[in-house]
Structure 1
Amino acid sequence: MDDEKAQLDSPYIDVDDGASFHRQPPLVYSSSVAKKEVLADSASALASLGASVFWVVVYYRIGVRVGKVMKMRRQVDPPGFDGSDRVIEFGQLTYCTRPSSSTSSRRGATSTRGTWDATAELMLGYGARFTQFLRGCPRAFRALTSLAVENLRFTDPDAITNLVRHCRALEHLSMRFCGFVPPTTVMVVDAPPESRLRTLLCLECNVPGITILQAPSLVEFYCGWRVLVEEDEGAQPPPASFGCTPQLKKLTLQYEQYEEAYDDEEYHSEWRLSEFLMLEPHQLQVLTLSFEATKIWVQPEYPKYLRPALGGLKELNLEKIHPTNDFTWLVFHLLGAAPRLQTLHIEVFNHVCHPDWHKKLDIETDTVCMPPLGFKHRRLKEVSIRRAFHVFKDMPFARRILEMAVKLEKLTLGVEDLGCDGCTVTLPRWPALASSRHTFNRASKDVDMLVEKLKHGIATSAQIQLL
């Protein structure tokens, strides 16, 4: 009697398929016939994937925010499975494949010269499984509005285009550590004319560049690439290429080298922004350039060549600049190309806990593209320079900004704290560096004297804040 009661109370059900008798978790169905069909598609596709634990939650959004929830759980242990988790959620969907702990997913799986390791082969398998899942659940993916994928490799160069075309309602797509075989394949996105895709995030993807042939509703694009093409493999493509993107307003460009390439002077490339920012005049409003503590990869050019692309820019962010890089020339030649710029944020890479911080880069300062004497910027209102160490190094640049920006309202120098526990622990090992860490007491007379020194001889009403 107790065994029968335990069997009745158990959430699992007995299944006799004729060949064997086993137990499996039940499926929870909705009353909707359409949802039963979607669930049937999901069940058949998941059975073929062979993953360890899959959670599928389908959220149907009818109209604006009407949703129903349907859950299904399957547990299958394929031969040789290492036990790592994979999670899938629908409605907002995340497909997360976690490589084994012996390898780092932070840096992907491709070494500098395109060689492969076990993790890369594993990611290639993840890509094949995801493609099979996409083809096996057409109804579910058609209703999807948000999708995030990580650690996937594809052999089909049209894989991302096929994904976007299958997900007709997709508005947000995020891809991290994704790429192709071979690794020199350019990622191509060609959305249909009725596409709703507004946000496309390609974060640290193992590709040499990303081409958007068509994305009529795209507003924000994060372009993160990591692969450089060697001379014997062909020409280096531009990191980004744009076709029909009439609504694009916000663009982020991020290039991160592999660890093996940091000490290789030949494994470095520079790009002219004017050669690939082929957008409508005054279209772009927010531009972020992230250098990930490497050399500045923007090639100097005269502002007149950049003005068609940056003429309507209102916000410029320069992030993770290596402390040995001189960003003065970069800022001034971008300011000359962006007459409508209102906000400028500069962030120096401040993580002393990271070995890249202590590397010495071979830097050549460019003065060809500096603005002429007497140049004035009449729209710039706010400038911030977030540097944790050697803050006084930015004083000459700050004075140039005060002289040039005639309508400047606020200038901020320094950072309030390191914001990293690792940096706090590491800093005592570098006494000279720790002594350069200035934190200003806002009520101190030294601050007032420094502010007066910055403003000396300059007619400005800007508020200067020292952190």
Structure 2
Amino acid sequence: MKNKSGRRRRNLNATQKATRNEAAASNANEDRLSKLPNDLLLNILERVDTLDAIRTCILSRQMLKLPTMLSRLYLTFSLKGVLRTNHAVAYVTDNILSTRSPEVTISELKIRFLLLPNDSLIIGRSVARAMATQKVAAAEFEIVTKKRYSLCSSADLLQFGKQFNDLFGACPHAFAGLTSLWLQNMRFGELDIPNILSTCKLLEYLRLSHCDSGVHAVLQVEHDQLVELEVDQGKFERVELICLPKLQRMTYDNWFSSQDPLYFGFVPQLSKLSLIKTRIRSDKTLELSQLLANVPSIDYLRLDFRSEKIWILPECPKLLKPVLNKLQHVNLDHLPEGCDLAWTMFILEAAPSLKELCITVWDHWCIMITNKELRKKYCFCEKADVKWKPYAPDFKHKNLAKLTIYGFQPDDNFMRYIRCVAEHAVNITEISLYDRKVCGRCGDLDPEIKDSVCPSRYPPTAEERKQITEELGLSFVDVVHFRS
């Protein structure tokens, strides 16, 4: 018994000593942190979420005043305890903006919040007051609804649209000062989005995710300052870019239309265009010569096929050269595995200024609809090769310097394609070959799907890579690079 009691006392003493040491170390760390100069502390705090920065400042009396001195504020709710942290975002926004000195410029104000009437109103009014009394260089709202789109009915979308309009009407000055706005899961009236754009005069970035004005509505966009526009999954019949003198970047993800999804009016600075689409049978095959007839300034083009059927028509270079003449960078993403790659050569024929071509070949099962009944219900196309025949078999491309392939496999399809590109691109200096891209979510796939996935044959050893390079030809020795 005595030995046991002695051991207990020694263990207790050791535990108490360890606790004291930890407390002393914590105090020492706190002292060292609080003794740093304010400008250095602010630099550190502005790199994290503002709620986390405030929690840090509470630990030290000397740091309590720092939140009101931050020039960059980023406030967002947590996915855990959404309602509680959304209330906190509203409270902290109001508290910080109402107590800070007007002399300290807010260089960045980013607020991501749930569209809940009381919280939203607090945020909107506090931001409006700040814009009226303080210097705010850049302000961003990301407004999220309490339901994900997949769970939303038409009535939900209309309700969320109304809630936004109520907030917008109550706090117009907050929106008038925004430089960036991202709206999700809302259905508007025909004039609502034009009204938003006319009020948000400083807006440089607008993203609409699962937003529309009713199925098959036409969205007309006019704005003097907008630099970037993204439309995700909207059920618009068409998006018409009427007059956007400063627009440089446009992204359209998965349109729902049997005609050209975009109309380009006055967009003299548009240089980057991204189109993402999962094709169904009723979709029109896009002809770039028609789609881009008014925008010959495109220098970057990204086409993402979502591992499904190709929805671009390879066209005659005589038709395409006028619109692709300035094109310098092309990304072709999620080309379906097994697809003959030769059709992509039509871009080389029609884009004499092209410097870099990047293709990704990948059956990305996470984003694909694999259920046969669902594919039939939603009219998904079956994969098929796109036919291409060179209009000028001996054409030479003098500017292409780099070809990048993700998902390379040492089969005839890839080997033949690389030889074909190198034959026509006479000044190519780098061909970079990567294995398939990796997605963490693909590990959770149904076992039946996993079993049907062909294992990668990307060459793992230097000897195998050397052999592939030799098979391509002697001229490839210094050009081909196998990348990790």
TM-score for both structures, normalised by structure 1 = 0.70
Give 1:204's match in structure 2, choosing from 233, 249, 253. Answer: 233
Give 2:242's match in structure 1, choosing from 172, 195, 213. Answer: 213
The aligned counterpart of 1:452 is 470
Give 1:92's match in structure 2, choosing from 117, 127, 140. Answer: 140
Q: Distance in 2 between matches of 1:169 and 1:280?
A: 24
Q: Distance in 2 between matches of 1:389 and 1:365?
A: 20
Aligned length: 370
Name structure 2 gaps, 5 residues minimum: 1-89, 103-112, 373-380
- Matched to 1:92, the amino acid is E
The aligned counterpart of 2:388 is 367
Q: Which residues in structure 2 correspond to 1:17-416 (within 5 Å)?
A: 28=95, 30=98, 51=117, 53-54=119-120, 56=123, 58=127, 66-67=135-136, 91-99=139-147, 105=149, 119-156=153-190, 158-181=191-214, 183-191=215-223, 195-228=224-257, 236-256=258-278, 266-281=281-296, 283-329=297-343, 331-353=344-366, 355-356=368-369, 361-368=382-389, 370-387=390-407, 393-415=413-435
Conservation of the 8 A alpha-carbon contact between 1:389 and 1:433: no
Q: Relative to 1, partners in 2 of residues 1:50 and 1:434: Cα closer, same or farther, differing over 3 Å? A: closer
**RMSD between superposed Cα atoms in Å:** 3.5
The superposition leaves residues 365-403 of structure 1 with CA deviations (integer Å, 9 ceiling, x where unpaired) of 3234x2422211110011111116676631110111111
- Matched to 1:450, the amino acid is I
Q: Distance in 1 between matches of 2:384 and 2:395?
A: 26
Note the C-alpha offset of 1:147.
0.7
The residue matched to 1:151 in structure 2 has which SS?
strand
Q: Relative to 1, partners in 2 of residues 1:67 and 1:333: Cα closer, same or farther, differing over 3 Å? A: same
Q: Distance in 1 between matches of 2:437 and 2:283?
A: 32
Query: Are 2:479 and 1:462 equivalent residues in the alignment?
Result: yes
The superposition leaves residues 48-89 of structure 1 with CA deviations (integer Å, 9 ceiling, x where unpaired) of x97364361628579xx9449xxxxxxxxxxxxxxxxxxxxx
Note the C-alpha offset of 1:357.
6.9
Note the C-alpha offset of 1:130.
1.5
Q: Relative to 1, partners in 2 of residues 1:238 and 1:417: Cα closer, same or farther, differing over 3 Å? A: closer
- Percent identical pairs in the alignment equals 24
Q: Distance in 2 between matches of 1:324 and 1:52?
A: 53
- Matched to 1:241, the amino acid is Y
Q: Distance in 2 between matches of 1:274 and 1:144?
A: 36
Note the C-alpha offset of 1:137.
1.9
Q: Distance in 2 between matches of 1:25 and 1:223?
A: 35
Larger Rg: 2
Q: Distance in 2 between matches of 1:358 and 1:325?
A: 21
Conservation of the 8 A alpha-carbon contact between 1:148 and 1:173: yes
Conservation of the 8 A alpha-carbon contact between 2:470 and 2:477: no
Q: Distance in 2 between matches of 1:438 and 1:424?
A: 23
Q: Distance in 1 between matches of 2:187 and 2:411?
A: 43
Note the C-alpha offset of 1:419.
3.2
The residue matched to 1:237 in structure 2 has which SS?
coil
- Matched to 1:251, the amino acid is L
Conservation of the 8 A alpha-carbon contact between 1:322 and 1:357: no
Q: Distance in 2 between matches of 1:318 and 1:453?
A: 26
The residue matched to 1:178 in structure 2 has which SS?
strand
Please state which structure has a larger fraction of its residues in helix: 2
- Matched to 2:267, the amino acid is T
Q: Distance in 2 between matches of 1:366 and 1:399?
A: 18
Note the C-alpha offset of 1:280.
4.6
Note the C-alpha offset of 1:239.
1.1
Conservation of the 8 A alpha-carbon contact between 2:307 and 2:364: no
